[in-house]
Structure 1
């Protein structure tokens, strides 16, 4: 999760810079787009983490079965 947090922080810094440099409606558009992207990244990150955990559990179980002679 450290990598996703670093990416998120970098993305927020970029969005912050864009917000300061742009004026009016275009700045609001950048912020809205950034909010959607951050939300999607957060959702995908959580789902990916859950999937990797499930695969790890199944592989550990299979290795234990093989090692026990089953």
Structure 2
């Protein structure tokens, strides 16, 4: 990684899980890098990502906005 910020724009839980978590990419991102996930994902997947990142929960911040119905 050469940038301190990495953006991903994936379609859903499955795409994020396969591309970022299951592939091992998330666990290989060095400390200090910010990953901005622009996908709409479930709270469960966000928790799974937090456990898989290899840096600890204190490194995570989740900013979410619920869209009006």
Which one has the bigger strand percentage?
A: 2
Identify which of structures 1 and 2 has the higher relative contact order when contacts are C-alpha pairs closer than 8 Å and 6+ apart: 2
More helix by share: 1
The structure whose Rg is larger is 1
TM-score of the superposed pair, with normalisation by structure 1: 0.28
TM-score by length of 2: 0.28
